[in-house]
Structure 1
């Protein structure tokens, strides 16, 4: 046999071993499908390759996250020709073809769609994106969609959103127009609502009434018990535009308490989740309900509570997400808040507890919006202080906090931060992986968001007399921790940096 024939036999034998091995083929194809729109030609290699290619793409696109990252497109300087889809930078111009390929060629039946900041791009693009999500991405597979978040930011309640609100087990934030069209029994695993919806309902009741009794009768008619949900997710805007003595103000705005109370009671809500946002698309307040005076005003940044407790409303657990927060997160993190808005939120936890009377609260801080660079020791002291405002009793608090390596020092000095005396270091090693984009390159848009491993330690404060427990998980980036001098473990064993370095030695 000639060398050339031998080579051909060897190549065919080797390729057969590759293409006949599903596990090996999947590994190869997985490295191509993350950027599938640029590697479509690889489908033509053979049927095995094409099958694996389409199968992996289908699996990776059952859950879709479509988000705009960076400054809003309000001028040429902030205009962008891309958005992120499933953590990848995608040119706006190819999105219709991309969605059509997923639907028609791959046959993806999307189960979850989360959109984020779709009100940031130019309005015409955002509206078109909203439309092709329905026509090209979902298509005729609406029954498969179980979760749909954020699309009403663009349309404010269209026919398509009305239809999906009646199908999904997790939906929102639901606008007033769509809310009014839900007239048949439906159970949500999670229903997302905004402070603006509470306001719209209160305004509608106020405008149709001349007395408080009439107003609350209207409220009882609008909020019907045929809606039920396990978890009510409240989207709260930290800064909204409203008038005080004919002067426009930007600050946290009051919410009508009775609207929230009636929802919780009639819908048989089991748990509450708070999503705090620095800004939302519903920034401008409509204040008719304030002028009517029928509803009790509640705010989450009051220095002291003005409306009493919530009667018979009591929850076992309330969770708080601060990934998109600025002022609320700042008020909890810093002992000397940088703005008056942040300072106002230091009583946030006490106010939440007065409203929901929960026994347990979980707080997840952002791993990217706030780059915490103050002393970690200062944070640990301050978070304990703000939690214990009004001397909390019978409360368990669980916190996830993400910090920078520089926070292991005290200010600009070389002094290393230590574990505050109130805290006990537990033996637990904690870790998580989160997608993120560095803030310094967010405007240029990296090709894909980074998957970063965070490692951390668990600290605890216990007050047996008051039945109070604080469990604090503090995370740092593992890759940055490995770059530090391990000798600090021996020279500064009681420092925070010393106990963290033990994780990578």
Structure 2
């Protein structure tokens, strides 16, 4: 009897061992622990049994196929904070963590996305270390390597980034691409499904060609050698700056010939443009000086810009998508506010005359002091400024109210509005085909919200046959604010006969 009692602990121990050796049971235990977002704090679980170790490593392997790496500089602690898939890793442990993932877990990375700062001096070394120790050591080339911001050191004070030079030609989707990567990575042809670039790259090309040339011919020859046809790309995503704060607060400009050369040489099919804040100083000053201005300035938004039709006739961009949700002008005081995208459509039509459609997303914030009437009036009056009469590009715009402006002391005086007409354009519900197109674009810029109230409309001029399709999006609260602050007959008609919440 005593001997049986003494064997009980051994039996319990053996039973426990049996449990922890069962892969299915261990897998369920790990799932119940819910440690996917805190894996590195539970590495001691590997010591339980070999089965536990095996299943734990499989868990890490599954969760780290797609990496999101955040590099943010902590100014209080004077160090770069690193998180991999939302798990904080101390700066001293990053290399150790990379080696663990590579050598012990043997992860197979499919995609990597960087987020964080553009403070290159502080985060670029960490960016370089991660690429060298983790990304370039992957057994198969990582097909998707992207970033919200330019964390590559070659975009800052340092002029080169060897890891990015090696990585870019292996990717199907890559970017933002730095100037150094463009110059040194593509001795052989390479095709991207999607390539990301920023205004900074466009400016660097223009600055480099201007500084190293004495004549316009030399400048353009340099440009053509830099933008070579070894790169081809289906989809080009471009981040453009709204303003150049150090050029007298002027709207930023791009070198028109640089953009033309990229679109033609790289055989772009679709382009997506996002307007962002300018984080650089004097970024376009070098090539915009009158004494050495070889390139033509092109503004996409605030001012009309013109192109030679012979330059763009070779462009066959199918779809143009514009993220115009953010505007530096919206952060100025109300009395100095200017419509930042007044000539956006007409400039786009002139630059992309053969595109099938142009789709723009605007976010109407509390800083935007225009009424709905004024917004629509500006759109139809300027969308086709000095554009060819025969142009058949379809124009779409999504207007999303993230906040609503009241005008309690403002006198509303908007001419040329009669019934459901705005400047000779008749307002009507969009056709099912047009509504479907807006629906197809729901997630194109990551701005879709199931709770939003949305309706599509068409403004049509029966004499010119020109049409502008717009989708208005309200939250429940902004819709109520709009109805409570109606200030014109058109708004009464619109909100109580057209934009009716179901």
Same fold per superposition (TM over 0.5):
yes
Of 157, 162, 171, the match for 1:159: 162
Task: Report how far residue 252 of structure 1 moved.
Answer: 3.2
Alignment partner, residue 457 of structure 2: 461
Alignment partner, residue 362 of structure 1: 359
Q: CA, structure 1 residues 94+270, in 2 after alignment: closer, same or farther (shift >3 Å)?
A: same
Q: Deviations over 1:385-433 (max 9, x none)?
A: 44434244742315374736xx4x85699xxxxxx97574999998879
| 1:384 aligns to 2:376 (yes or no) | yes
| 1:102 aligns to 2:101 (yes or no) | yes
Matches within 5 A, 1:7-26: 20=24, 24-25=28-29
Alignment partner, residue 292 of structure 2: 292
| 1:179 aligns to 2:175 (yes or no) | no
Q: CA, structure 1 residues 396+87, in 2 after alignment: closer, same or farther (shift >3 Å)?
A: farther
Task: Report how far residue 139 of structure 1 moved.
Answer: 4.8
Matches within 5 A, 1:435-450: none
Alignment partner, residue 260 of structure 2: 261
CA–CA separation in structure 2 for the residues paired with 1:387 and 1:348: 9
Alignment partner, residue 242 of structure 2: 238
- Match of 2:35, SS state, is helix
Alignment partner, residue 192 of structure 1: 196
CA–CA separation in structure 1 for the residues paired with 2:203 and 2:251: 13
- Match of 2:262, SS state, is helix
- Match of 2:348, SS state, is helix
- Match of 2:343, SS state, is helix
Task: Report how far residue 268 of structure 1 moved.
Answer: 1.0
CA–CA separation in structure 1 for the residues paired with 2:12 and 2:98: 40
Indicate conservation of the 8 Å contact 1:239/1:283, yes or no: no
Alignment partner, residue 115 of structure 1: 114
- Match of 1:180, SS state, is helix
| 1:145 aligns to 2:148 (yes or no) | no
Task: Report how far residue 185 of structure 1 moved.
Answer: 0.8
Task: Report how far residue 83 of structure 1 moved.
Answer: 4.6
Indicate conservation of the 8 Å contact 2:67/2:84, yes or no: yes
CA–CA separation in structure 2 for the residues paired with 1:347 and 1:127: 38
Task: Report how far residue 141 of structure 1 moved.
Answer: 1.5
CA–CA separation in structure 2 for the residues paired with 1:258 and 1:219: 9
Indicate conservation of the 8 Å contact 1:112/1:145, yes or no: yes
Indicate conservation of the 8 Å contact 1:65/1:113, yes or no: yes
Task: Report how far residue 60 of structure 1 moved.
Answer: 2.6
- Match of 1:303, SS state, is coil
| 1:39 aligns to 2:42 (yes or no) | yes
CA–CA separation in structure 2 for the residues paired with 1:277 and 1:470: 25
Q: CA, structure 1 residues 55+191, in 2 after alignment: closer, same or farther (shift >3 Å)?
A: same
CA–CA separation in structure 1 for the residues paired with 2:367 and 2:340: 20
Aligned-residue Cα RMSD (Å) equals 4.7
Task: Report how far residue 435 of structure 1 moved.
Answer: 10
CA–CA separation in structure 2 for the residues paired with 1:435 and 1:43: 39
Task: Report how far residue 257 of structure 1 moved.
Answer: 0.7
Task: Report how far residue 100 of structure 1 moved.
Answer: 3.0
CA–CA separation in structure 2 for the residues paired with 1:402 and 1:171: 32
Indicate conservation of the 8 Å contact 1:401/1:474, yes or no: yes
Q: CA, structure 1 residues 384+68, in 2 after alignment: closer, same or farther (shift >3 Å)?
A: farther
Indicate conservation of the 8 Å contact 1:350/1:389, yes or no: no
Using the size of structure 2 for normalisation, the TM-score is 0.70
Task: Report how far residue 278 of structure 1 moved.
Answer: 0.8
Task: Report how far residue 271 of structure 1 moved.
Answer: 0.9
Moved more, 187-196 or 378-387: 378-387
Q: CA, structure 1 residues 319+434, in 2 after alignment: closer, same or farther (shift >3 Å)?
A: closer
Unaligned runs of 5+ in 1: 244-248, 414-419, 437-451, 482-493
| 1:168 aligns to 2:171 (yes or no) | yes
CA–CA separation in structure 1 for the residues paired with 2:444 and 2:53: 31
Alignment partner, residue 327 of structure 2: 326
Alignment partner, residue 347 of structure 2: 351
Alignment partner, residue 315 of structure 1: 317
Task: Report how far residue 269 of structure 1 moved.
Answer: 0.9
CA–CA separation in structure 2 for the residues paired with 1:400 and 1:108: 43
- Match of 2:225, SS state, is helix
Task: Report how far residue 189 of structure 1 moved.
Answer: 1.3
Alignment partner, residue 231 of structure 2: 227
Unaligned runs of 5+ in 2: 385-391, 410-418, 421-426, 479-494
CA–CA separation in structure 2 for the residues paired with 1:136 and 1:454: 41
Q: When the two structures are aligned, how many residues end up with a matched partner? A: 438
Indicate conservation of the 8 Å contact 1:18/1:24, yes or no: no
Indicate conservation of the 8 Å contact 1:257/1:295, yes or no: yes
Task: Report how far residue 468 of structure 1 moved.
Answer: 2.6
- Match of 1:268, SS state, is coil
Alignment partner, residue 448 of structure 1: none
Q: CA, structure 1 residues 453+280, in 2 after alignment: closer, same or farther (shift >3 Å)?
A: same
Alignment partner, residue 216 of structure 1: 220
- Match of 1:229, SS state, is strand
Task: Report how far residue 263 of structure 1 moved.
Answer: 1.5
Alignment partner, residue 131 of structure 2: 134
Indicate conservation of the 8 Å contact 2:269/2:316, yes or no: no
CA–CA separation in structure 1 for the residues paired with 2:444 and 2:256: 37
